[in-house]
Amino acid sequence: MTIKGKAYIAGAFEHPTRHAPDKSVAQLHAEVALGALADAGLRRDDVDGYFCAGDAPGPGPATMAEYLNLTKLRHVDSTELGGTSYVALAGHAAAAIALGQCDVALITLAGRPRSEGVATGTTPRLRDPNQPEAGFEFPYGLTTANGYAMCAMRHMHQYGTTSEQLAWIKVAASHHAQHNPNAMLPELVTVADVVASPLIADPLHRLDCCVISDGGGALVIVRPEIAKSLGRPAVKIIGAGETVKHLAGGAFDLTTSGAARSGPAAFAEAGVKPADIKYVSIYDSFTITVLIQLEDLGFCAKGAGGKFVSDGNLISGVGKLPFNTDGGGLCNNHPANRGGMTKVIEAVRQLRGEAHPAVQVRNCDLALAQGTGMQLGTRHCSATLIMERE
């Protein structure tokens, strides 16, 4: 069975806030849910499938289903894959629709790490003492930043990748963010700015890291017949893949991500090749995250990512592969410390022709969203979603 062509993204909404001390997390979830339904032209009572992940208050989907007063649910899914959850959940929603388990699927994400003052990336955190690896990781001061940094350090050693090459990823994101009035960092930056910014965890500088923001987003995914009745540009889901990559008992390669498995699965289902893709949303928790995923998805050879991202190749209208035209996590936002939702939303804007005119990709009929959740340097989840405009 395939999900190809069985479901359409009918509604997409990104919360404009980047700092929400005056709102609750549940309230933000509700606002993005209602925003996406309004975008689709559907009502709350049309929703019969609800999808959320670990950022939703309460365990699983029950608390938010009650808060939103969703009363027609016949399918729920709260698969937790970290920041890429929403890329994967879009595929799950398509699968549920293909199986007849629901007709109108709502996916929500929201959070306020900025208001809550969470020092997200640089403080060691003990998440769950029952995690069997905790005793062998937490004492050593493993954080988000230094975990990803070790991937970058190894990539540099193995393939000669440089800090200047990584910086080009941030530079490209800033070229896009300058056109986004909601972006946290709308200023243009140069390669020199990035490498001159303070080191956080060698070799990653401050400007190699994504922002911390409040906010959220939501998607509405529907059966083809419903999509066609709504009068919005039709964005068809044609391929999805997901996987987990981990340290495999102590024999691993930090320069490769789960995208090397989720990507080929999604391409095979969609029946398209990397060269066919007109626009990519690539999870950008750090610059190195983008480089490794681009290689693993096959946009360039393993190890050639540094050269591939250089000289503006990711800038819309300039390079061969426009990416993250909203400014991405590096410049725009990273709501709830989870960037997967906004990756899908910007891909939908591109496919609809509703991106900012300065960054809109011409004839954008095929787009890919790729996410990496949790920790690239230890255990992470990867999800790939391929979408087509009809």
Partner 1 sequence: MVARKIPAPIVTVESEPFWNAARQGRFVVPACAACGKTHWYPRAVCPFCGAENIEWRAASGRGTIYSFSVMRRAKEPYAIAYVTLAEGPTMLTNIVACDFDTLRIGQSVRVAFGETENGPPVPLFRPV
Which chain residues interact with partner 1 by CB under 8 A? 122, 124, 126, 129, 132-143, 145-147, 149-154, 157, 198-204, 247-252, 254, 378
Report the C-alpha gap between 43 and 30 in whole angstroms.
13
Minimum distance, C-beta of residue 99 to partner 1, in the bound complex (Å): 33
Decide the pairing of beta strands 366-374 and 279-282: parallel
Alpha helices in the chain (DSSP H): 25-40, 62-67, 85-98, 144-159, 163-177, 191-196, 224-229, 259-270, 287-297, 305-309, 340-352
Report the C-alpha gap between 95 and 178 in whole angstroms.
37
Minimum distance, C-beta of residue 156 to partner 1, in the bound complex (Å): 9
Taking the least distance from each CB to partner 1, the nearer of 182 and 197 is: 197
DSSP structure string for 250-312: G---TT--THHHHHHHHHHHHT--GGG-SEEEE--SBHHHHHHHHHHHTSS-TT-HHHHHSTT
Minimum distance, C-beta of residue 289 to partner 1, in the bound complex (Å): 15
Minimum distance, C-beta of residue 150 to partner 1, in the bound complex (Å): 4
Taking the least distance from each CB to partner 1, the nearer of 110 and 195 is: 195
Taking the least distance from each CB to partner 1, the nearer of 122 and 229 is: 122
Report the C-alpha gap between 79 and 351 in whole angstroms.
26
Minimum distance, C-beta of residue 135 to partner 1, in the bound complex (Å): 4
Q: Is residue 368 a contact partner of residue 281, using CB atoms and an 8 Å limit?
A: yes
Report the C-alpha gap between 277 and 14 in whole angstroms.
23
Taking the least distance from each CB to partner 1, the nearer of 146 and 370 is: 146
Taking the least distance from each CB to partner 1, the nearer of 2 and 378 is: 378
Minimum distance, C-beta of residue 283 to partner 1, in the bound complex (Å): 20
Taking the least distance from each CB to partner 1, the nearer of 1 and 248 is: 248
Which amino acid does the sequence have at 27? Q
